[in-house]
Amino acid sequence: MSKKRTSSEPVEGAAKRVKLEESVASKTEKTTTSFVDGAIVRLEVKDFLTYSDCEYKFGPGLNVLLGPNGTGKSSVVCALCLGLAGPQQLLGRAREVGDFVRHGQDEAWIHVEVFRQAGNITFSRHIRRENNTSHWKINQEASTLKKVQEQVKQLNIQLSNLCQFLPQDRVVDFARLSPPDLLKATEQAVGDPAMYDDHQKLIELHKQQKELNEKACRNTEELDRLKHQNSLLDRDVQRYKEREQFMKKVKDLENKRPWVDYEEVRGFYTVAHTEMKVAKQELERLKQTHAPVKLKVEQARQLREDYEKQTTDMGKLATRAENAFGKVKDDIDSLEEEMGEPAQRLDQARKSEAERQRKITQAENAVRQYEEELEQLPSIDVLKPQLQEATRQLRDVNAGVMRLQQDQTSIRNEQEPQTGEIARLETELQRLEDVSNRRLQLLRNADRDTFNAVQWLRANQDRFKQHVYEPVVMAVNMKKAENARYLEQIVGFRTLISFVCQSDEDLKLFCELVRDQQNLRINAAAAPDASLEDFRRKGGELAGVKERFDFPSSLLDMVEGPEVVLRYLCRRHRIHETLIGTDRTEANVDKVIQESKLTMFCTPKSFYVIKTSRYGQHHKSTQVSDIKPGRFLNVAVDTQRREHIHRELMDVRNSMEHGRLQIEKLKDEERRLRVENASLKDRKDKLQAQKDGRRNTESQLNVARQRHQRYVQDAVDLEQVEAEVKVSLNQINQKRAEAAKTMKACIKKLVNLNKEKAMLQMRTTQEALREDRLQAEYRNVTSGLKEAEEEFRVIEKKARDLKTQAKEKLRYAQQKLGTSEGRPSPDVIAVFELYPNALAEIDDMIHDLKARADLNYHTDPKIVEDYEKRKAEIGRMENAHHEEIDDLQHLDKEITEVESRWLKPLQELVCKINKQYGDFFSRLGCNGAVELEKNPDYDKYAIRILVKFHAAQKLHVLTAQHQSGGERSVSTMLYLMALQELTRCPFRLVDEINQGMDPNNERRVFEFVVAGACRPGTSQYFLITPKLLTNLQYKSNMKVHCIYSGAGVDKSGQSGRCFDPRRLVRKMRDQMPDQ
């Protein structure tokens, strides 16, 4: 029987006191079952959660902890977890370890005694509320958290393994375990210790193999790429090297050329110096023969000049005589010309008269023609009114066109701000749509199945009788984005991604189309029938609590969205009764918990869930969790604003369309007026043309009449002209006769003078010829002298230039070789001897080598440098690739070895679990199976649990979507029982797994647990439940710990209300049939 303790505190205001009594059902026979290493022998707590001072002593087999909600059953789970150095996150009850200290106390103690064949070991944990610190002891000796964890691991206690340790708050987590995680948990729970290690090793080896394969592939690709790059450059590099060889020879030739050039110029200088001496001697000889020839030339020139003077004087006399003759001849020619002028004047007068008569006739004809044309044209008096009327009509039409254009401009001016407004509204709408798309992308990243279902729903909404709402995360918005964290914390991720239907019929159809046909794992629910106002009225009943404890609003007040979705959230998570507090609320949180009837509320930092016991003094236990930042709803979408913008945009576009139609109407009217305008303009142009034509004809008629009158007045007297011409001809003939006599005398004088002039010219010519002969001789002598002088200067300059050139070429040749010596070094001469000694041959060879180098087009040296680097890198990578191949072969061999010792035992283990699991389900009249799902990736090897609870169903994988909560509980419990048969862990704990089961399943499952956990050789088992069915079967080697709690428990028993376990045992024995 368990030892009991009570707190020394008075009953008033004290926390729960607990008396624990073990009750053994069935007969009182002693058990022979013994503890296994790692089993829990004893648990003692002080000032821990609801306990002031309590001790449990557990049996080695099945331990049932029985008690109503709020009495402290789950506190035992917390104590075991924290006392064995388990992470507090496994419990989900408080964010700090100090929160596990009983209210009103500063510190708490946990002592956990664990069985060990070498001697039991006791782990002690001292928790202080201040600073949230813990101190550890092992067997009453100070220790550390790390050492405690090492001892717990040696005992094979796996608190993080849901197959061994399943607290109440993690039952749902077990159902959500992914198949790969379930396999790992199973390996740790019931597999050989090396099995899990081998699995982890395979995962790591496969990861290394995958990484090495990827690396090898990348390296191979890189190696191929480098080889390909170099293969493309092989020819270029070869050409580059050939070109370098050609250019090396070119450089040698270019170095030799200056020396050859220097030697050649030096030779030219020697020859020129010799020629200069010879030329100087010839110059001296020519200077001695030049003077006598020059004297003869001067004498001949003087005699020629005397004859030329005499000839000139005679020429002047002949010129004067010739001038006199020419004057007389000009006078005669002038008289000849004067004789032709009177006859010409008479002829011209006759032609002018004939032309005048022709023009008079022509003018008369023109006058008649214009008079006839005027008779055909309407008068100005007739045209003027018609033209004025056409002008007036045209002006009216143009005014109408201008008015229409002004009306169009006015409408366009009115539409200009509307265009800007449309752009502004579209921009704002796009911004709001972008926010919605961002939230959809967040949903895609978080749950791809739900995202795909949203896309499908948008395309198939018409298949449902009523509107099916997209997931809550897409349908609702927070009025303030910073409040998103409250809703996400309270409703949880599964609710956020839940679709909401308005009827059960649509819900069933939606699940069939999406879950079954498309195999998408989604959540969906139907909204309640109650109206949103009903929920709001219920929330309004908390007005007093709001005011007293400073709760500004409920969570419902912070959310906006479709009424159907909000009704669903109210029913599912009671957001209308969930109040959101302030920092002042946080400061008074103890009062809120004790004095209000709230079951949950939020402060800026924490989320509180309050459970009240239905027994005794109705004591309360609190679960506290941190409020994490929002992930989805903090990306707010203002749906009302979006709808408002849609309406505004539609109104503005309608207004724009109305304006457009008005403009089109005005344009049609404008086109009609423009057609009329063109017709009127054409008519006006015709009238104006008639008017202008009449005026032009009248003007031309006046001009023709004036021309006719002028021609009539311009008559010529021909008889008078003929008389005047006869007189002029007689006078001219007399002058001609006198001029002929004078001309005869001039000719005679001119002939005599020309004879004398010819004699003098002959003598001058003879002397000029003699002078020319002497001049030629003189020129020859002078030319020879000049040529000799010039030749000497040229040769002298050539020698001087060649000497300078030789010095410059010597300096250039020395500079080219980088030497100051007069001759190249023997090594350089040896190189030079390989090449020709003639400049032409050297130039030809340089040209040929450069041409051959140019055929190998110039390659960038950087490319060649990169080529050589790649070549070295290729060699290094090929060596590395061979090493990678060796490593991969070694890994393949190691993986094969590890897999061979891991997979077969694992398959056998899963086969045993499947057999046991199927047997349990067959006893329930259902079907169940456990399969090992293989995968090339060892990390994706998985255990799949398949169940079928109804005959009409098929075997379905165990998920939160296909099975109800009770069905999942049964499936989970039976899986744990199947493991119990194969267990290797020291104890297994399950908290309130029977909640949600129907009575038949609960009874059968309990029988399975008793049968499996009470069998000899099995590990310790903890089953925690708030209630048990009646008439259950018990065994002698199990313990039932009845938790009898409450402030009214009398430790002395004098009140008559003290719990007497012996009396209960006797009563139970009397009621049980003999066994």
Q: Which residue has the tokens 């169009």?
A: 408
Work out the pLDDT band at 687, boundaries 50, 70, 90: confident
For range 382-404, the mean pLDDT: 81
Name the nearest CA neighbour of 445 among 635, 259, 282. 635
Whether residue 1003 is predicted with pLDDT greater than 90 in this model: the reply is: no
What six digits make up the tokens of 672? 């009609």
For range 441-469, the mean pLDDT: 91
Q: What is the mean pLDDT of the chain?
A: 79
Please give the Cα distance from 346 to 339 (Å, whole number).
12
Q: Which of 600-614, 649-663, 815-829, 930-944 has the lowest average pLDDT?
A: 815-829
Whether the model clears a pTM of 0.85, i.e. scores above it, the answer is no
List of residues 6+ apart from 474 with CB closer than 8 A: 436, 439, 440, 443, 454
Say if residues 498 and 443 touch (Cβ distance below 8 Å): no
Work out the pLDDT band at 961, boundaries 50, 70, 90: low
Beta-bridge partner residues of 559: 478
CA distances from 882 to 404, 758, 879, 888 (A): 87, 123, 5, 10
Name the nearest CA neighbour of 930 among 948, 946, 912. 946
Strand arrangement, sheet containing 165-166: 18-23, 1038-1045, 62-66, 1020-1025, 987-991, 165-166
Instruction: State the Cα torsion 499-504-507-509 to the nearest 10°.
Output: -160
| pLDDT at residue 514, as a whole number | 92
Whether residue 1045 is predicted with pLDDT greater than 70 in this model: the reply is: no
Q: Give the model confidence (pLDDT) of 862-894 as tens digits.
A: 777 777 788 888 888 888 888 888 888 888 888
Q: Judge residue 61's burial from the number of C-beta atoms within 10 Å of its C-beta, 0-12 exposed, 13-18 middle, 19 or more buried.
A: buried
Sign of CA dihedral 184, 188, 193, 197: positive
For range 913-939, the mean pLDDT: 84
List of residues 6+ apart from 191 with CB closer than 8 A: 905, 906, 909, 984
Length of the chain: 1075
Residue type, position 878, single letter:
E
87: left (phi over 0), alpha (psi -120 to 50) or beta: beta
Please give the Cα distance from 799 to 270 (Å, whole number).
8
| pLDDT at residue 7, as a whole number | 33
Q: Give the model confidence (pLDDT) of 9-46 as tens digits.
A: 322 333 333 333 333 333 333 333 488 888 899 999 99
Rg (CA), the chain: 65
| pLDDT at residue 41, as a whole number | 92
| pLDDT at residue 433, as a whole number | 63
| pLDDT at residue 92, as a whole number | 64
Q: What is the DSSP code (8-state) at residue 515? A: I
What six digits make up the tokens of 330? 């000009």
Please give the Cα distance from 920 to 1001 (Å, whole number).
11
What six digits make up the tokens of 404? 């229409």
Q: Judge residue 377's burial from the number of C-beta atoms within 10 Å of its C-beta, 0-12 exposed, 13-18 middle, 19 or more buried.
A: middle
Q: Give the model confidence (pLDDT) of 535-580 as tens digits.
A: 998 888 888 888 888 899 999 999 988 999 999 999 989 999 999 9
Segment of 117-121, 303-307, 730-734, 788-792 carrying the highest mean pLDDT: 117-121
Q: Give the model confidence (pLDDT) of 726-739 as tens digits.
A: 777 777 777 777 77
Segment of 255-264, 305-314, 422-431, 579-588 carrying the highest mean pLDDT: 579-588
Whether residue 5 is predicted with pLDDT greater than 60 in this model: the reply is: no
| pLDDT at residue 8, as a whole number | 30
Segment of 86-100, 656-670, 725-739, 822-836 carrying the highest mean pLDDT: 656-670
Q: Which of 101-115, 157-171, 387-401 has the lowest average pLDDT?
A: 157-171
For range 305-330, the mean pLDDT: 79
| pLDDT at residue 628, as a whole number | 87
251 or 138: which leads in pLDDT: 138
Work out the pLDDT band at 123, boundaries 50, 70, 90: very high
Whether residue 526 is predicted with pLDDT greater than 90 in this model: the reply is: yes
Whether residue 380 is predicted with pLDDT greater than 90 in this model: the reply is: no
